[in-house]
Amino acid sequence: MRIVVLYGGISPERDISVKSGTRVADALSTRGHVVAGILITGEGRFVLQREPATGPTSAGRGPWSAAEFLSFLEGWRPDVVFLGLHGRGGEDGAIQGFLEWSGIPYTGSSVGPSALAMDKTAFKAVLVELGAPTAPHVTLTRDEWVDDRRSALGRGCVVAGLPGVIKLPASGSSIGVWIVHDSKTCEEYLDRAFREETRVLWEAYRPGRELTAAVLDDPETGQPVPLPVVEIRPRGEFFDLDSKYAPGGAEELAPAPIAAEIAGELQEWAVRIHRRIDGRGYSRTDAMLTDDGLVILETNTLPGLTEGSLLPKAAAAAGIEFDDLVERIALAASRTPADASARPREFHAGS
C-alpha cells in the first residue's frame, strides 16, 4: 500500500508524536509498504521528511501550506493516511476534518468521536450518560472565575472536593493536569489554567492503581476487541509526562496483575465507550482501581505508539507484535472510506 504517515503538529505533545510517527513509518516500510513521512511543523506547515520510494516528487519537500499538502495527496493518492499525531490539532477532530476533504481514508476515529473524546468536560457527560463509574466533577468557566472566584472555589469544593485534580479540557499525555491538596494550591493552579483555557475540569482525586484497557477493531468484523489490561506504577504521585516517557519513569505490567473480574469489567467499559462515541480502529480507556472499585478517567482515540506507549504493550501481551499492530491498523483504515458527505463533490486544492 501507499501510506502517508503524519506526525509532529502544533500541540505540546509534538515531540511524542514525532517518536510515534517515525516508529510507525519504520514498521510499515519494513512490511514492504511505500511510505511518505510528513512532519507538521509547530506553525502548521507540512514538510516531506521521508520521501516515498515511488511517486511524484515535483512538489518538493516543503514546507507546504495545507492546500499544497492536499495537492500532494491528490497527486500521489495514498491508500491511507496514518495519523501519528497527539493532542490539539491531531486528536481533536481538526486534522480528521481536513482529511475528509481529500477523500483518502485515515487511521483512528472520525471528526465527531475525536472531538468528543478530546474534550474532557464533554466526555464526562458521556460517562454519566452510560452510568460509568467516574469521580465527582465540576466544570468551571473563566467568566465565573473572574467575576467571583470565591464562589467558584466554593462550588468546586462542594461538588468535587479536595484533594482534587485540575485538568485543562483538551490536553493529553497528562499535560495540564495538577493534583491539588488544599484551597491555596487549587486557586494557584486554577489561575494558571484560566490563563490558557476558558473552561477547566475539577474532579475529585481518587487514588489507587492506574489501569488502562485498549480496544482494537477486528479486521474482519469491524467489532472492537479488548486487549489485555495494563497496570501502570509511576515513580511519582501520578502518571505524568515524565513518568510516561522518561526512562524508568514508571513500571508497566501487561497483563495487569489484577482479578479477572476487575480486568473484565474495565475491558467491558472500554468496549462500551468505544461503541458509544462511535470510535474507529482503536482507542484506549484509562481508569483507577480504588478501594471502592473502578473509576473511569478518559478515553484516548489516538493513543501513543512510541516504544514506551501503552497500546503496543497491551498488543504485545495479546501476541501482536508492533509491526503487525500498525499494519493491521493501516489495513483496516484503508477499507474505511472517508465520509464523502463531509466535503463538496467538486473540490480541488488551490481552487
17, 102, 114, 300: which one is catalytic? 300
Answer yes or no: 245 catalytic.
Answer: yes
Task: Judge contact between 126 and 277, C-beta under 8 A.
Answer: yes
7, 9, 11, 13: which one is catalytic? 13
Q: How many CB atoms lie within 10 A of CB 137?
A: 20
283, 304, 327, 334: which one is catalytic? 304
298, 309, 328, 334: which one is catalytic? 298
Query: Hey, what amino acid is at 61?
Result: R
Answer yes or no: 276 catalytic.
Answer: no
Strand-by-strand arrangement of the 80-83 sheet? 46-50, 34-40, 2-8, 80-83
| Angstrom distance (rounded) from CA 100 to CA 284 | 23
7, 189, 245, 282: which one is catalytic? 245
Answer yes or no: 173 catalytic.
Answer: yes
Grid coordinates given for 213: 484497557
Q: How far is CA 95 from the centre of its chain?
A: 13
Answer yes or no: 300 catalytic.
Answer: yes
| Angstrom distance (rounded) from CA 48 to CA 41 | 11
Answer yes or no: 286 catalytic.
Answer: yes
| Angstrom distance (rounded) from CA 201 to CA 275 | 24
> Among 90, 142, 137, which Cα is nearest to 115's?
90
279, 284, 327, 334: which one is catalytic? 284
Could you give the residue numbers annotated as active site?
13, 173, 245, 284, 286, 298, 300, 304
